[in-house]
Amino acid sequence: MGHSKKTPKYKLIENYILQKIKGGEYQKGSPIETEQELVDKFNVSRVTVRQATNNLVAKGFLSRSQGSGTYVTNQNVMERSTNVKSFTQEMLESGKKASTEIIEFKVIPVSEEIAKKLLIKKDDPIYYIKRLRKADEIPMMLETNYMDVKRYPNLSYESICGSKYDFVEEVTKEAIDHSHHIVLPIMPSDEMVHFFHCDPTTPLLKVLNSTYLSNGELLDYTELVLNVDEYQYQSVRGK
């Protein structure tokens, strides 16, 4: 097909599908070509085609229905803001009502791995917070949060039912400034399938996120798993 050999074939397929989406040839909610059609078109294996479509599923452009096919995501997919905002604020600006289901909230000794991320000592007490974040009662993301107890001794169950950022800014008198993050596709666990009602064979998007205050201090470390059928992630930068 005259493509440069420097571009991996799975990437060529990704770009091909994206061009059809952006050009309107693939409409929202409509199926894309079958795996076999893409295999024949690009002269590749099914594994290569699946790598391309899995990447686009994880990025929120496609969704997969088991036994039915692969579809362009619907027009209601939310985009994660490019600014550091609370989930509550994002949903408010999108005309949606945010809500939070607290799955776990407890104090535990920090593991060596998380201690390094929080810049504290192993076995120091931390808050372990797991929340399901929703918009108009639709599950958007599963959030696992780690915070230093010594820095926020007054953090309560009530304060994490809403915006954690609002609580922190009120306590510290410092603004939320920026985030550092790593984004990677993962296969859904049983817990994720339960909360998102998603296809267990379709990748989700996981974001490893460290948030900083305006004075340069680390606020927290969070692992977010996004329901890519409903909520699309874009790079988060400083305010």
Residue-wise DSSP of 187-208: PPPHHHHHHH---TTS-EEEEE
Q: What is the mean pLDDT of the chain?
A: 84
Report in angstroms the alpha-carbon separations of 38 from 17, 72, 193.
10, 15, 28
Q: Distance (Å, rounded) from C-alpha 209 to C-alpha 153?
A: 22
The CATH class of the 9-72 domain is mainly alpha
Tell which wins on pLDDT, 237 or 205: 205
Residue 113 DSSP SS3: helix
Tell which wins on pLDDT, 110 or 61: 110
Question: With respect to CATH, is domain 78-232 assigned 2.30.30.30?
Answer: no
- 100-128 b/e (C-beta count within 10 Å ≥ 16 → b): beeeebeeeebeeebbebbebeeeeebbe
Measured in Å, how far apart are the chain's first and last C-alpha atoms?
A: 44
pLDDT at 6: 67
Q: Distance (Å, rounded) from C-alpha 61 to C-alpha 44?
A: 22
- At residue 50, what are phi and psi to the nearest 5 degrees? -65, -35
Query: According to CATH, where is 3.40.1410.10 located in the chain?
Result: 78-232
Query: According to CATH, where is 1.10.10.10 located in the chain?
Result: 9-72
Residue 63 DSSP SS3: strand
Whole-model pTM: value is: 0.64
Residue 66 DSSP SS3: coil
pLDDT at 20: 87
Tokens of residue 18, six digits:
């994206």
Tokens of residue 100, six digits:
């939070």
Contact 128, 107 (CB under 8 A): yes
| pLDDT value at 179 more than 70 | yes
pLDDT at 58: 66
Tell which wins on pLDDT, 178 or 74: 178
> Tens digits of per-residue pLDDT, 42-87?
999 999 998 888 878 766 788 877 677 898 886 444 444 435 677 8
Q: How confident is the model at residue 236 (pLDDT cuts 50, 70, 90)?
A: very low
- Percent of the chain scoring above 70 in pLDDT: 88
